[in-house]
Structure 1
Amino acid sequence: MPPTHHAPFLPGLRLSQHLFEEAVRPLLAAGLPGLRYAAARVGSGSEVLGFDSARSADHDWGPRLTLFLTPDDAAAQGPAIRELLAVRLPKDVHGWPTHFENSPDPLDPVGIMARTDGPVAHRVDVTDVDSWLADRLGLHGAPATADWLAMPQQRLAEVTSGAVFHDATGGLTAARDRLAWYPDQVWRHLLACQWQRISQEEAFPGRCAEAGDDLGAAVVTGRLVRDLMRLCLLLARRYAPYSKWLGSAFARLPVAATLTPHLRGALAATGAALRERHLCEAYERVAAVQNESGLAPPLDPSRRPFHGRPYLVIGAQRFAEALRATVTDPALRALPLTGAVDQWADNTDFLGLHAPARAAVRAM
């Protein structure tokens, strides 16, 4: 459904900041003076990752905010704050409605900005930090190793990206700082696991092509390209978003300028030799980044035959083992090189279920 307005597009984070500065903050100061809270645009939404555009305005986008109170204040004051904002919020911010209605399509129940003459069904949520982290990440308290392996990178990106406009309690900022990136030992383990994924299929495009299966070779090549992109994000200490924004996130990395032509070339190739050449160029460039990181002793990044078969590969398992040797945490060393939950599962519905994901990690 098209939006019901014609205001000039504003990036969602700027629009949410206007909502807070010009509407929510003054109302809270007048109605609940002395209330200590944090205000942020975090969580789901393309604007949180900085990828929104005018297209985003057609659903679940607009003036949105989350207020983080202490648990006691959230329980005691939350309903009153929601009601205050429903009655007193302006009907629009910079031309964008603050009122949301559900889509009339029962199969697509998204929120759509709409004009209203009555109370505003706003998207200002009221919660506390611990409850929000439990909801978004299934996290209770400081993250342990198993927690890190059970939290998808998309969810970690949603929690640590976006913008905090005000934090009088410091709790939200502290939580985001704790989750900003993996602990060093977990990071090394995940890098080893990502190289291991590549090692499992790097010979398959050549074998598929030799068997006359060019379509199969292209499918495996697409998987390898995806794994290389996610590996580059890991090396750059950037959480990988889900598939819609993976290419956009990868494009922001310094290595993308030289790597993208070869990834595109591998995907577009219609012959085995050209596909292999582009893949090997990509492997070697990512291996060079790995060597430059200093996380493990440098290895020869040049392509080589896959055992006695006539397919050229990087020998990705060498990099996996070199990184694994730097992992000293006994709990991580006892694990197979399967990695975090979103390194071996990419079903969106599954990754959104905290209990099954954590149970699967515990079973490793």
Structure 2
Amino acid sequence: MADFIPGLALARSFYTDVVAALLDMPHSACLIGEGSEVLGYDTPRSTDHEWGPRAQIFVAADQVDRARAVVSAGLPAQHRGHPTAWYSLAEQRVAHHVEIAALDDWLTARLGLNPLAGLDHAAWLALPQQHLLQLTSGAVFRDDSGELTRLREVLRWYPDDVWRWLLAAQWHLIGNAEPLLGRVRETGDELGTRLIEHRLCRLITEMAFLQEKRYRPYDKWFGAAFAELRAAATLGPLIDDVLGGAPGSLPVALIELAERHNDLGIADPVTPVVADFDVGINGAVRPHPVLNSGDFVTATTASITDPALRSLIPVGAIDQLTHTDDALINFSGWPQSLAGCYRAMLSDSSG
């Protein structure tokens, strides 16, 4: 059995030593898209399915058939001890895993659009972060046209106004969840308490990704990716304290998050304050300490230059609004449908 080699390194040598020699036309070559090796998280366990020497090759539309033919005819049976053909879920048979296509067609099949044609705010809000991460991770081995490099530059991070709106929406979600905790504790609901604590810890860690301009992966790699953030050194132990039931640890974690937000310098600074929860109805104030998250929503929203986006209710982008599991991201039309919803709401706001 061949020794394990990280899939990204295997893909690079596979292209350089094998595939490149078969192609006599201008092309781009990379490993992006799905796969733990694209994110650098593959291990020997990953080799049990959809893993091995592989790459994407992008050529002009009129060269796709010829490129496919020469690659299929010229691939050796193995590369560095690993078979170059194995069972393909997409094709339901044993096949090689060199994807060859025109870049526009490949993107449209996966995203329902080509980002190089331009993305409005609605399109950004409906693009799952998992897709954005997959397209900006991995590696480019060659890029004759420069289109692949431009694509990754376009998708590197959200436009500034969209980023600010996502931050405001995340503060809104935190502000909605936090008051529930004291009320549930008050009723003696231990399970409910733990679930809301976990919910808040998740929202805090998601915010850390947004603050550091890093797309977050889906749940399998979420913790590993969080550990790579700068915030992990300080927020990580605080999250551990919250999950471990340490009294008073949640406000400390939220204040740390708030101070990191102020350090971004994107809006008027807000002094973090933990005080009893003001319900905002009938003068009711409950003895449940909460952070002034609403002030961060207000300040961040005020810094958005696009009046339509500034006026949009901060429900969040697709990842904040719903679960983005494999079925939704890769096998449904929900992202495109949500783009239409966001576009309609932004149009209403601008009008």
- Give the TM-score of the pair, scaled to structure 1: 0.87
Cross-structure match for 2:190: 214
1:350 counterpart = 2:328: yes
Q: Gaps spanning 5+ residues in structure 2: where? A: 279-284, 346-351
Cross-structure match for 2:18: 23
Q: Distance in 2 between matches of 1:138 and 1:151?
A: 10
Cross-structure match for 2:209: 233
Contact 2:273 2:292 in 1 (8 A): no
2:305 alignment partner AA: T
Give CA-to-partner distance per residue, 1:223-253, whole Å, 9 cap, x none. Answer: 1111111111011010111111111111101
CA RMSD, 1 decimal: 1.9
Cross-structure match for 1:139: 113
* Candidates 204, 209, 224, aligned match of 1:248: 224
In structure 2, relative to structure 1, the CA distance for the partners of 1:27 and 1:110 (3 Å cut) is closer
Q: Distance in 1 between matches of 2:289 and 2:215?
A: 30
Q: Distance in 2 between matches of 1:26 and 1:10?
A: 22
The structural deviation recorded for 1:110 is: 7.9
Cross-structure match for 1:97: 83
Moved over 3 A (4+): 109-112
Cross-structure match for 1:360: 341
Cross-structure match for 1:62: 52
The structural deviation recorded for 1:313 is: 1.7
Give CA-to-partner distance per residue, 1:41-72, whole Å, 9 cap, x none. Answer: 00011111111111111111211100011233
The structural deviation recorded for 1:363 is: 4.8
Percent identity between the two aligned chains: 41
Q: Distance in 1 between matches of 2:90 and 2:113?
A: 26
Structure 2 counterparts to residues 9-88 of structure 1, below 5 A: 9-28=4-23, 33=24, 35-73=25-63, 78-88=64-74
Cross-structure match for 1:333: 310
1:67 alignment partner AA: I
In structure 2, relative to structure 1, the CA distance for the partners of 1:134 and 1:44 (3 Å cut) is same
Q: Distance in 1 between matches of 2:206 and 2:90?
A: 29
Q: Distance in 1 between matches of 2:324 and 2:207?
A: 19
Q: Distance in 1 between matches of 2:251 and 2:90?
A: 43
Q: Distance in 1 between matches of 2:176 and 2:312?
A: 17
2:221 alignment partner AA: W
The structural deviation recorded for 1:323 is: 0.2
Q: Distance in 2 between matches of 1:143 and 1:97?
A: 39
Contact 2:318 2:324 in 1 (8 A): no
- 3-state SS of 1:305 partner: strand
- 3-state SS of 2:55 partner: strand
Cross-structure match for 1:162: 138
The structural deviation recorded for 1:111 is: 8.9
In structure 2, relative to structure 1, the CA distance for the partners of 1:347 and 1:158 (3 Å cut) is closer
The structural deviation recorded for 1:280 is: 1.1
Q: Distance in 2 between matches of 1:127 and 1:289?
A: 43
Q: Gaps spanning 5+ residues in structure 1: where? A: 1-5, 103-108, 115-119
The structural deviation recorded for 1:81 is: 2.5
Give the paired residue count.
333
Give CA-to-partner distance per residue, 1:314-338, whole Å, 9 cap, x none. Answer: 1211111110000120221231111
2:111 alignment partner AA: L
